[in-house]
Chain A
Amino acid sequence: MNLTDWIVLLSTLGLIVGYGTWRTRKQNDLNAYLRGGQDSNWATVGLSVMATQASAITFLSTPGQAFESGMGFIQFYFGLPLALVILSVTFIPIFYKLNVYTAYEYLEQRFDLNTRLLTAFLFLVQRGLAAGITIYAPAIVLSTVLGWDLNTMNIMIGLLVIVYTVSGGTKAVSITQKWQMAVIMGGMFYAFYMIVDQLAPHVSFLEAIEVAGIHGKMEIVNFDVDVNERYTIWSGLTGGLFLALSYFGTDQSQVQRYISGSNIRQSRMGLMFNAVLKIPMQFFILLTGVMVFVFYQYNARPISFNEHVVETVMSSDRADEGEAMLASFEEVQKQKTELLRSGFSGNENALRSLEQKHVALNESFGALAVEIDPEVETKDSDYVFIRWILENLPNGAIGLLLAVILSAAMSSTAGELNALGSTTMNDFVKRLRKDRSEQPGDVWRSKLSTVAWGILAIIFALSARLVDNLIELVNILGSLFYGIILGIFICAFYIKRIGSRAVLIAAVTAETIVLTMFFTTDIGFLWYNAIGCGAVVIFATLMSMMPRASAQLKD
């Protein structure tokens, strides 16, 4: 990184944050602050929904995922358009009709205050933890690659987000997210163009796709009915549908985005915008990763994309073993490049075999690093894209691509902090005091709660490195609660006979079952989403079907 990169990076981030803060400096009432005055058009709603979902780790990890496993990850998103259509038909009209500020407000009107508070509390716990990770995850990758101080990065990203999220509320979040998405997509298109351009002396774009196909990277859909396969069309359409329904329908960080639309039509169009564009966008990001894979078939590739792994081995007393592996790795690269340049047609099996040798050497090198330092992170797919950016893009463009990654980190964190502040203010502070009407200091109270969540997120990001495998920990915590929340909303929307006490008892019972299973079994944590949701719906339905109990449990 040189001065040009710094100028591009800081001016891009500074202009977006400055513009968002300036445009929304006067937010006088809660409707303006928490729902952006409900005057957003469909494009703003759509981009804001997209930007909240796409975090920095999306742009770091997704190309790496394609580099490693090909395009199959796209199937994970197949349930998303179905979920958005369901939400557009069912959830949006109800949220608008009841004029809610948060999704949980609806639960009080449908059930009672306790159900609302329980669901809002579960959301605050899981999203509060996730906000810290949204800051920490890109910071750890960027600090490793660029040598920047991790704590400074955590604080810098967190403070920048707090400034405009607190100052302008939902409107500032939407406005900045629009420009952040423009920078993100512009940067990604540029990166894609540069990869294809740098491949041009060796292969055309279509030939590059063929090389990727030889290595199985173009296996996009898998129709096998195999529950052990992580990504198949069936798991995408069912699991993806459940996940998208709970995320877009019950997570305030998303609900807040689309209820800021000026009317039902704008909100629905915003969701349909995502239903149409989300899969092509992910396809494009994955294809970028596949092109990076082809690039490293023709060009020298590091034995590990995480330089820290290489340093660990080479600075140890087992460096000679590392050197031997490195020499073998370079020899395989040489054979591969020669074979490719002589024409890949007819050499498919030889190319596959050389790639397998590369992968095996990468794994052996990682295993050696772990023997030397058990703490070292050997999975290097998150480092693939950032390493390609730093080593192959001209100055200025590196600053732009770093602005892409930091914009993504800031846009998703802003959506989360905004939702955490709104839920605290609306579902707890305002709801639990005697006078529930809007008071003169409510905007300030909302700002204070957003600042508090921002500081908590920074503190959590700063202490994140003390916990092993933190991302998995947060996903596990989320899975323990997400299914219960979705179950409550499904009962609310679709099963009219279920009353408040039935759903509350079912939710507490389901949460107890999920926690008991978590502590006593080895079931994969993703299953807790389905188990929690299913348990709430089944218990609440059963209770409402019992004649006597039904009479007692209904309000």
Chain B
Amino acid sequence: MGVEEPDKDPLASEGTNWRRTYVIVLAFLVLQIIVYAFITDYFA
């Protein structure tokens, strides 16, 4: 029995550019870490 596959390209489905959404979400994470690192450094 093989694994059930999701849609061929779930990243491009339903009229939403999911690839761009995920990049924005992860970029926001990186941005937060940079800001937190800056704050940490400022008070060190």
Contact = CB atoms under 8 A, between A and B. Distances in A.
Given A78-B33, A81-B26, A221-B37, A94 B6 contact: yes
Interface in B1-33: 1-4, 6-7, 10-11, 13-16, 18, 21-22, 25-26, 28-29, 32-33
Nearest to B43: A213
Given A90-B6, A94-B6, 16 more contacts: A74-B36, A78-B33, A84-B25, A88-B22, A89-B10, A210-B43, A218-B39, A218-B43, A219-B40, A220-B39, A221-B33, A221-B36, A221-B40, A265-B15, A276-B28, A279-B29
B4 A220 contact: no
A263 B10 CA distance: 13
Interface stretch (A7-15, A136-144, A423-431, A493-501): A493-501
Contacts of B39: 218, 220
Contacts of A221: 33, 36-37, 40
A82 B26 contact: yes
A218 B16 contact: no
A221 B33 CA distance: 8
Shortest beta-carbon contacts, A-B, top 6: A213-B43, A93-B6, A220-B36, A218-B43, A265-B14, A555-B1
A49 to B, nearest CB: 15
A214 B7 CA distance: 53
A314 to B, nearest CB: 38
Interface of A: 71, 74, 78, 81-82, 84-85, 88-90, 93-94, 97-98, 106, 109-111, 210, 213-214, 216, 218-223, 233, 263-265, 268, 272, 275-276, 279-280, 492-493, 496, 499-500, 554-555
A264 B36 contact: no
A109 B1 CA distance: 9
Contacts of A554: 1
A265 B44 CA distance: 43
B25 to A, nearest CB: 5
Looking at chain B's contact residues, the main secondary structure is helix
B2 A496 contact: yes
A219 B43 contact: yes
A81 B29 CA distance: 7
A263 B29 contact: no
Contact of B1 (A78, A210, A499): A499
Given A218-B43, A221-B40, A493 B22 contact: no
A35 B43 CA distance: 48
Contact of A265 (B2, B16, B22, B36): B16
Contact of A279 (B2, B21, B32): B32
Contacts of B22: 85, 88-89, 272
